[in-house]
Amino acid sequence: MEDIFRHIEQHQQEAIDDLIRLCRLPSVSAEGRAIEETAELVSEMLRSLGFRSQILPKADGHPVVYGELAGASTEKTILFYNHYDVQPAEPLDLWSSSPFELALRDDKLYARGVCDNKGNIAARLAAIRAFQSLRGQVPLSLKFCIEGDEEIGSPGIEPFVEERRELLAADACLWEGGGVNWQGQPQITLGAKGLLYLEMEARGANRDAHSSYATVLPNPAWRLIWALATLKDPHENILIDGFYKRVRANNSQEKAAVKAMPAEEAHRARSLGLDGFLKGVSGLDYRLRHLFEPTCNIDGLNSGYQGPGTKTVLPARATAKLEFRLVPNQEPEEVLDKLRRHLHQKGYSDVEVRCLSAERPARTPIDHPFVGLVCEAARQVYSQEPIIIPSMAGTGPLHPFVETLGLPTADIGVGYPESCMHAPDENIRLADLLRSAKHIAAVLERFATQQP
């Protein structure tokens, strides 16, 4: 493998060039920007490596870039799941450089999407190029499934995968992309939370009114605040009846894995300028809470006048972006039903709830042999003990790959704890890009030669 690793290092500029091309396109799925161009570019990059690639429509949302490439062994196939879309770059004034132009500063690469998820596409292509250059071909068959809606909750990915079970059939899946922890240990993530992302809207009069009418006119901002305040209390208890009912207990392997994870909260608190965390958690409690607890988060609030100084106005509408992260075995549809019933019972039937995105939680069992193989490859590349994360705190469309395709699925990638994913100055370290490419290469090699 050393020749492969050296090739990846010596050809780092090719990976950077891939990223320059990928990050230049502002493929913000929430705004539907540059989607077609980015899908075309990704498909073309796959074709240039010999993949047969197609851009497949998805019934709901943006197209998926599919690619397949036969390897030295065609008896085994690894499926890569990635996405070419990115989060919005706002607030733009907090970026140190233009978000859609790759910038290299202090051995770090900055751009919206450079970590989440374009850097991982680049790392995987770098590993493939190394095999092709040195061995003429990759060691086993590969498939890519690169979607364009991950950041808006992957609408329609479940039926898309269901309908293409044969096309996407594989033996294991390397998923989107994780990264190293504060100690530099590679993290191998096996699960994801589910998501229910809603917009809530309260309406009052048919137009903004002079605020002196607050005596008699309903104010939708108050209605929204009162309704939201019934959902979660200041002790972080989610108050929707039955919300926690389907949360399954975590098994001993999951808890042991979390226990083996190093403490990260001191680093994170410092980085975020905080003295501590919700409910004062630290150590194992912090990790158990972060990885295994469902959430109810406000992502946005919008009503009335928000400019400088004063405007005495009674707003005609108020909206909130409300998000739940769900853990096995919570179902987004069921939580939405319970929320609607809760609002009705509390007297807020007037507050409209629109579902913008829903995903189900999923986990690959820790004791699957593929997990051991990915860990072995990580030890070889990083010379550090890998960290198994039973479930990430975040969400991704893991469910169709784990459950519908039945694949053991591991998430490894180019990030590090200060990658600022979804935030201004998103970045990766160049060294992490190369290490992730090597890890991918090592997994491919081991999986190809592993005894069945």
Is 181 a binder of a second copy (CB under 8 A)?
no
Supply the minimum distance, in Å, between the C-beta of residue 163 and a second copy. 24
Is 298 a binder of a second copy (CB under 8 A)?
yes
Supply the minimum distance, in Å, between the C-beta of residue 293 and a second copy. 5
Contacts (CB under 8 A) with a second copy, residues 330-369: 347, 356-357
Angle value at C-alpha 82, between 154 and 388, nearest 5 degrees: 100
230, two tokens: 């019934």
User: 354 and 201 in contact (C-beta within 8 Å)?
Assistant: yes
- How many C-beta atoms surround the C-beta of residue 96 within 10 A? 11
Q: How far is CA 275 from the centre of its chain?
A: 27
Q: Which is nearer to a second copy, 141 or 154 (CB)?
A: 154
Is 452 a binder of a second copy (CB under 8 A)?
no
CA distance 174 to 401: 10
Q: Which is nearer to a second copy, 136 or 309 (CB)?
A: 309
Contacts (CB under 8 A) with a second copy, residues 241-270: 265
Is 284 a binder of a second copy (CB under 8 A)?
no
Q: How many residues bind a second copy (CB under 8 A)?
A: 91
Sole binder of a second copy in the list 24, 246, 289, 340 (CB under 8 A): 289
Contacts (CB under 8 A) with a second copy, residues 129-158: 151-153
Supply the minimum distance, in Å, between the C-beta of residue 430 and a second copy. 22
Is 414 a binder of a second copy (CB under 8 A)?
no
Sole binder of a second copy in the list 27, 87, 117, 404 (CB under 8 A): 87
CA distance 433 to 22: 15
Q: Which is nearer to a second copy, 131 or 175 (CB)?
A: 175
Radius of gyration of the CA atoms of the chain, in A: 23
Contacts (CB under 8 A) with a second copy, residues 299-328: 299-315, 318-321, 323, 325
CA distance 279 to 234: 10
Residue ranges with strand state E in 149-271? 172-175, 187-189, 191-192, 194-203, 209-210
Angle value at C-alpha 68, between 67 and 73, nearest 5 degrees: 160
Is 14 a binder of a second copy (CB under 8 A)?
no
Residues 6+ apart with CB under 8 A from 401: 79, 81, 161, 173, 175, 362, 407, 409
